[in-house]
Amino acid sequence: MKDYTEKEINEGRPGYDALHCVEFCLNCLYKDNKHTFKDTLTERLTYEELLGALLQAKDELETKNEEE
């Protein structure tokens, strides 16, 4: 990302658990009425791909939480 190194980005973490963060991002995307699935966030990443990854992460985190 512009103005940040990969190392700087990887060092930052929110103060919430992963499921909470994934659900926050999904809720923000659900409310977005300016973009379509095919719009791009970056040169090689669409909203559809981001949503798919977040939904898979949510499913895995929920399964992990149920197993605990």
Q: What is the pLDDT of residue 13?
A: 87
Identify the band that residue 25 occupies on the pLDDT scale cut at 50, 70 and 90.
very high
Q: Check whether 1 has a pLDDT greater than 90.
A: no
46: its two tokens: 């669409």
Single pTM value for the model: 0.87
Q: What percent of the chain has pLDDT over 90?
A: 88
pLDDT tens digits, one per residue of 35-66: 999 999 999 999 999 999 999 999 999 999 99
DSSP 41: E
CA-CA distance, 8 to 50, in Å (whole number)?
21
Identify which of 15, 16, 50, 1 has the alpha carbon closest to the alpha carbon of residue 30.
50
CA-CA distance, 52 to 8, in Å (whole number)?
26
Q: What is the pLDDT of residue 30?
A: 97
